[in-house]
């Protein structure tokens, strides 16, 4: 990876892993960082969230791929 940038903060590791799989299927490398002891203590990630990083050069494409999921989450809240 070249310069990495924050793409999104997720509420859970599971959600982040699903989106990671989507991005990687489009050949976008992803780094996930969370303070949850590598998934052994998932309740620890709630306070700080699960951060997803991508290469800066892939940021726009990654945002576009995640956009439909952001919209559906917004609709569920309404």
Q: For 4-16, what is the mean pLDDT?
A: 93
Instruction: Specify the pLDDT at position 45.
Output: 46
> pLDDT, tens digit, for every residue of 22-74?
999 999 999 999 875 555 555 554 567 899 999 999 999 999 999 998 865 55
Please check whether the domain covering 4-77 is classified as CATH 3.30.70.1530.
yes
Instruction: Specify the pLDDT at position 40.
Output: 58
CA distance 15 to 33: 13
Confidence of residue 13 (pLDDT cuts 50, 70, 90): confident
Instruction: Specify the pLDDT at position 1.
Output: 61
**pTM across the whole model:** 0.76
Residues 6+ apart with CB under 8 A from 15: 50
């Amino acid at each position: 990876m070249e310069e990495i940038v924050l793409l999104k903060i997720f509420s859970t590791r599971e959600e982040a892993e699903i989106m990671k799989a989507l991005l990687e299927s489009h050949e976008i490398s992803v780094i996930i960082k969370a303070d949850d002891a590598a998934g052994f203590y998932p309740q620890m990630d709630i306070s700080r969230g699960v951060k997803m990083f991508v290469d800066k050069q892939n940021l726009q494409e990654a945002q576009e791929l995640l956009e439909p999921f952001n919209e559906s989450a917004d609709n569920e809240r309404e």
